[in-house]
Structure 1
């Protein structure tokens, strides 16, 4: 008998309805088991309260020579399955977040924020922790287009820049929770000075919309802020990329982008010649 990836589990699932009640009990255990453990006929029979003879008949009914051959293939399969499941979990979560970002994009809002940035004399990006890392990316992206922009992730500097803000300043605040104390304090100071406020957050609360000029909503998942498996910056950077695309479509900034790329290209050529 030839085996391929996931053959054992697919085999059990396809045969499940044709099995006896005892055999279904055995199949159910192996289909839902995710632990790599000792699975001798004695251990499994004691665990499931079935006879070892029932395990042998079950294995043969599923197309194997006996329970030992079944277990040999099953253990290879479950080890591979667990590795693939972990990878798939990460990829699928990123895909779900990306799909959610797509659904949450407000085109008119993006145009409005892009023009808000072009009409400003100064842009400050506030973010703490992982949001601060995302803020640095925002700074680098828009700086290349000639925007007067600065990113800060220190609570004291946030307050200082907020106190220097005026009606010609745009503040981009990044906070997944929308509750970061240092960010909210800085926004309160900047707003009192007449600055325009753009918040990127997953918190869709009236409190934020009451003092922010624009709230760009991003999707989230449980414990995203912890950043254990999924980068908490991911949905932020997706929305920033969308905003960036709207921004460079404003003619004057598209030309600045091309000028920047040309300068970098010429510098690379000179380095090669040297």
Structure 2
């Protein structure tokens, strides 16, 4: 069986579990928890061992492996083993009340370095190239994001405008709904949602897609509701806890991926340098 979803780098199985977690069944989530909590033990386990650890049937373990795109449990174990070889060693990274300023700074830097590597592991070259082609071909790009994702949407709007693309951004749910209702062929929606499950974004994206618009989504969950309507899915690590909505680390990874995307757009658009020069000159006299 072929791997599901976009083509990812070889060493990303544990990240893939995180990305697909919300779409798993209750039994499959138990298997996922058993693997992610102790991947070293999972690599040494048989199907029976893992099913007993997760307290599910052996068929649930097999279904879990196949949902991730593997032909069977053995292929899944080999991929997890490769993950463990390549995974950076990060010890004592949790911030404690007794940590001084430099210790906090070091731990947070270590965390962000790890997340940057995870973002790279999730990048699909095919998806990036497809996004570049679609955005350059679009008559107009409509960037949507609500809540914290709305801030990311505004930044993307700024970046795309500076390289001369026809773009607008909205982060108000009502405006997004009205905007999406008017879209059609030639329009492209770039939807940003970490969870991929925000109704204020999913419903308008569905309508825009039904009207003939193209859709790119930036999300942390490969099989989220919004991804079902996307022509292209761009993934970033999804590690926000319920109390961490809009975490800066998540936004940094989104901005890192968008920076890569905008660099590729500039490389492939002959007018990009001229647009950057014009926009820079337009505000030159605003500086002391």
TM-score by length of 2: 0.61
State the alpha-carbon separation in 2 of the partners of residues 153 and 139 from structure 1. Answer: 11
Q: Retained in 1: the 8 A contact 2:202–2:225?
A: no
- Please show how residues 193-232 of structure 1 align to structure 2 within 5 Å: 193-205=211-223, 207-223=225-241, 226=244, 230-232=248-250
- CA distance in 2: counterparts of 1:204 and 1:175, whole angstroms: 11
Give the secondary-structure state (helix, strand or coil) at the position aligned to 2:179.
Answer: helix
Do the aligned partners of 2:148 and 2:246 also contact (CA within 8 Å) in 1?
A: no
| Partner of residue 243 from structure 1, selected from 261, 267, 284 | 261
Q: 2:273 aligns with which of 257, 262, 266?
A: 257
The reply to whether residue 165 of structure 1 matches residue 198 of structure 2 is no
Between the aligned partners of 1:164 and 1:118, the Cα distance in structure 2 is 21
1:170 and 1:195 in contact (8 A); partners too: yes
The 1:150–1:35 alpha-carbon spacing in structure 2 relative to 1, beyond 3 Å, is closer
Measured against aligned partners, the alpha-carbon deviations of 1:76-120 in whole angstroms (never above 9, x if no partner) come to: xxx6x5433322222122111111111111112111111101111
* C-alpha separation in 2, matches of 1:190 and 1:91: 40
Asked if the contact 2:196/2:225 (under 8 Å) is kept, the reply is no
Write out the 4+ residue segments of structure 1 that deviate beyond 6 Å after TM superposition: none
Q: Which runs of 5+ in 2 are unaligned?
A: 1-94
* Counterpart secondary structure, 2:248: coil
Cα distance in 1 for residues equivalent to 2:138 and 2:96? 58
Residue 61 of structure 2 aligns with which residue? Answer: none
Query: Any conservation in 2 of the 1:175–1:200 contact (CA below 8 Å)?
Result: yes
Once residues 150 and 126 of structure 1 are traced to their aligned partners in structure 2, the CA distance between those partners, rounded to angstroms, is 9
> 2-side partners of 1:267 and 1:83: how far apart?
38
CA distance in 2, matches of 1:224, 1:142: 31
Q: Equivalents in 2 of 1:233, 1:224: separation in Å? A: 15
Deviation (angstroms), 1:214: 0.8
1:66 paired residue number:
none
1:127 is aligned to 145
Residue 46 of structure 1 is matched in structure 2 by none
| Kept in 1: contact 2:141–2:188 (CA 8 A) | yes
CA distance in 1, matches of 2:140, 2:241: 34
Match of 2:122 in 1: 104
Kindly indicate whether residue 168 of structure 2 is the aligned counterpart of residue 150 of structure 1.
Answer: yes
Q: Give the number of equivalent residue pairs.
A: 194
Between stretches 142-151 and 225-234, larger displacement belongs to 225-234
Q: For the structure 1 residues 250 and 227, does the alpha-carbon distance in structure 2 shift closer, same or farther, using more than 3 Å as the test?
A: same
| Structure 1 unaligned regions, length at least 5 | 1-33, 37-78
Taking a change above 3 Å as real, the CA distance of residues 271 and 85 of structure 1, as seen in their structure-2 partners, is closer
Alpha-carbon separation, structure 2, partners of 1:156 and 1:228: 21
Query: 1:199, 1:216 within 8 Å by CA — same for their partners in 2?
Result: yes
- Contact 1:171/1:197 (8 A) holds in 2: yes
